[in-house]
Amino acid sequence: MTIAPLANRSPDALCSRLLKVGLLAASLAGVGCSPSSVAKADLEAQGGAGGRSFGIACNRAAECDDDPAVSSPSGQCLPDGSCRCSPGHVLNPRSGKCALSKGSDLTSVDGWAVVGELAAAARGDEGAVAYVEEISEGDAGRSRLLLQRFDASGTFFGETLQLASGARGDLGGVAVTSDGERYLVCWTEAAQVSCSALGDTLVPSPVFQEAGKAVGVVHGTPGWLIATMTDPLVAPAKFILRLLANDFEPLLPSTSLSVTSELSSQLQTPLLASTALGFLLVASDPTLGNRARLYRLDTALNQLGEAIDLGHPFWFSGSLAANANLIAVSLAEPYGSNLMLLDADGLLQSLPIPGGYKTGMHEALVVEDSRVLASWFTTEPKLYTQAFSNGREHALLPPGTSGAPWGASTSMSSSLVLVRVSNRTLGVYGTSSFGPASSETWIKDGIAARPLAAD
């Protein structure tokens, strides 16, 4: 199988952001801070009853008095020029302003419930989770697509943004990525894929729309790659790949890749990752009995070398992550999963992880500097994390975990995702009154964001 080639913020706000991650005073001098006025104790966030103050005195601290976002009721400017957020508010790490805090758990209210998959991405020192809520109204109901931001501590803050609405069951297939400044959120509605971009103002701007039943999205060196799936009930089912420039203009005509040769009611979400060379894609191959293969693509979506046979079918859910030296792929299978490690030469190791239900065991993957992290829920329930620094070495558990629970894990829906925010890794997942590892994971009471214990 081949793939056809395709033709300002103020200095005060910046100071707040930089001090929050503990940069040296010499760095602060470049954004207008007075280093001599910053005491060591001022580098730590303080406050009680939900408020946080940052003892930071800048050369233009008087601007704080005129900033309505830091003034009452969300916060106040202290005589020394520092800003204290009022109880129930936290400092927005990106803007340096106080924002409404929602804690580390989002709870659906007024009859709404989170359904289906979650998607999350980060832009520097904040992250965002995109998800769908539904409400029943007699024989009918409604659905809505929401976006909520969170910081590196797992605290949700600011307003919840609604990006789309529809009838119950129409919205789904959520995907989100970032270029470090903007979020690109994609979703399906009935048989349509739509994508909107959100910059600093968080005003959604539609940038893409096309027929499709599932969607994956990733940002790389040339721009944004959007992969959609055609109707799996109409043969041949395909992944359609679209490459957009950073300004969302089409870079190349589309290409397509057949993913199955038989009719199926199962939607396969395209698994995507970006690399220095281009992109990675996991898709089924009908010539191999629909076993999954890893495709390496250059920046023009030309295939690099032979696709790598992963030896397992694509079953309900999967994950893909990569760094310069290592690729990790997780594929669910009935009552278990397989976690595969690869390098440029091919498959290094396949780790079977028994557990779960018929839909399989889901692991979330993320790249963390020189290693890949895989996380999944166990029957306690507890979120376990396995770290891989090199596929040829024995798997190393990070500090804080008691052992790899091979064979002692249960099902967690593919709503579990890992995301890197300010050099911390957080697990974002759906919660329910039955616990996060319950079989009742399709309908959820809300969403939690937790820094990994080993991070």
Whichever domain contains 356, its CATH number is 2.130.10.10
d(CA 394, CA 402): 16
pLDDT in tens, the chain (455 residues): 334 333 333 434 433 433 333 333 333 333 332 222 222 222 223 222 333 333 333 222 333 334 444 444 566 676 766 667 888 898 888 887 888 999 999 998 898 999 888 999 999 899 999 999 999 988 889 999 999 999 999 999 999 999 999 999 999 889 999 999 999 999 999 899 999 999 999 999 999 999 999 999 999 999 999 999 998 888 888 999 999 999 999 999 888 887 765 656 677 889 999 999 999 999 988 778 788 999 999 999 999 999 999 999 888 889 999 988 889 999 988 888 899 989 888 888 888 887 777 878 888 999 887 788 888 877 666 777 888 776 555 454 443 343 444 444 444 455 789 999 998 999 998 887 544 444 433 457 889 999 987 54
The answer to whether residues 446 and 423 touch, using CB atoms and an 8 Å cutoff, is no
Strand order in the sheet with 446-451: 105-107, 446-451, 424-431, 417-421
Domain assignment present for 2? no
Residues 403 and 374 occupy one common structural domain: yes
Residues 398 and 427 occupy one common structural domain: yes
Count of domains forming the chain: 2
Domain assignment present for 5? no
Domain assignment present for 3? no
Task: Give me the half-sphere count of Cα atoms (radius 13 Å) on the Cβ side of residue 90.
Answer: 23
Tokens 């003034």 — which residue? 71
Task: Give me the half-sphere count of Cα atoms (radius 13 Å) on the Cβ side of residue 277.
Answer: 15
Residues 204 and 282 occupy one common structural domain: yes
Residues 314 and 351 occupy one common structural domain: yes
Residues 155 and 84 occupy one common structural domain: no
The pLDDT score that the predictor gives to residue 271 is: 95
Domain assignment present for 36? yes
The answer to whether residues 227 and 244 touch, using CB atoms and an 8 Å cutoff, is no
The pLDDT score that the predictor gives to residue 260 is: 67
d(CA 373, CA 70): 38
Residues 239 and 296 occupy one common structural domain: yes
What single string gives the DSSP state of each residue in 355-404?
A: BSBTTB---EEEEETTEEEEEEEBSS--EEEEEES-TTSPPBPPTT----
The pLDDT score that the predictor gives to residue 263 is: 59
Listed residues 83, 101, 119: the one ending a domain:
101
Check whether the bond before 236 is cis (ω within 30° of 0): yes
Residues 271 and 418 occupy one common structural domain: yes
Residues 83 and 184 occupy one common structural domain: no
Domain assignment present for 437? yes
Listed residues 75, 101, 127: the one ending a domain:
101
Domain assignment present for 217? yes
pTM over 0.85: no
Residues 35 and 97 occupy one common structural domain: yes
Residues 108 and 229 occupy one common structural domain: yes
Residues 138 and 71 occupy one common structural domain: no
The pLDDT score that the predictor gives to residue 314 is: 85
Structural domain of residue 19, as residue ranges?
11-101
Domain assignment present for 232? yes
Domain assignment present for 1? no
Listed residues 101, 130, 153: the one ending a domain:
101
The pLDDT score that the predictor gives to residue 320 is: 96
- Please report which helix (H) or strand (E) contains residue 13, including its range: helix 11-20
Residues 81 and 118 occupy one common structural domain: no
Residue type, 301: L
